[in-house]
Amino acid sequence: MHDSITPSHHRVLAQSGAGNWMFLLEAARDIRTTGALAPSGRALAHALTEPVRAQAGRRLNVLEAGAGTGSVTRSLIPQLPAGSRLDIVEANPRFTDRLRHLVRTHPGLSGQPGQARVHHAYVEELDTGQRYDAIISGLPFANFDPHQVEAIMGRYLELLRPGGLLTYFAYRGTRQARTLLSLASRAQARRQRASEEVLADYQRHYATGRSAVWANLPPAHVWQLQRPAERGPGASPTSAGAVVAG
**pLDDT tens readout for residues 103-123:** 999 999 987 878 999 999 999
Q: Is 240 within the bounds of a domain?
A: no
pLDDT of residue 211: 97
Q: Is 97 within the bounds of a domain?
A: yes
pLDDT of residue 186: 79
Q: Is 145 within the bounds of a domain?
A: yes
* Degrees, nearest 5: CA angle 86-90-93: 130
For 179, the domain range is: 7-226
pTM as predicted: 0.80
Q: Is 61 within the bounds of a domain?
A: yes
DSSP letter string over 132-201? Answer: EEEEEE---GGGS-HHHHHHHHHHHHHHEEEEEEEEEEEETTHHHHHHHTT-S-HHHHHHHHHHHHHHHH
Q: Is 1 within the bounds of a domain?
A: no
pLDDT of residue 56: 92
CATH value at residue 216: 3.40.50.150
Q: Is 236 within the bounds of a domain?
A: no
Q: Is 193 within the bounds of a domain?
A: yes
pLDDT of residue 110: 85
Q: Is 17 within the bounds of a domain?
A: yes
pLDDT of residue 21: 43
pLDDT of residue 172: 82
Question: Which amino acid is residue 46, in one-letter code?
Answer: H
Q: What does R_g of the chain's alpha carbons equal in angstroms?
A: 18
Please identify every stretch of the chain with a pLDDT value under 70, giving residue numbers as ranges. 1-39, 173-184, 231-246
pLDDT of residue 243: 45
For 34, list phi and psi in degrees, rounded to 5: -80, -40
Handedness of CA 91, 53, 61, 6 (dihedral sign): positive
pLDDT of residue 237: 43
- pLDDT tens digits along 141-181: 988 999 999 999 999 999 999 999 999 999 886 555 555 54
The stretches of 89-145 forming alpha helices (DSSP H) are 93-105
pLDDT of residue 148: 96
When divided into structural domains, the chain yields a total of 1
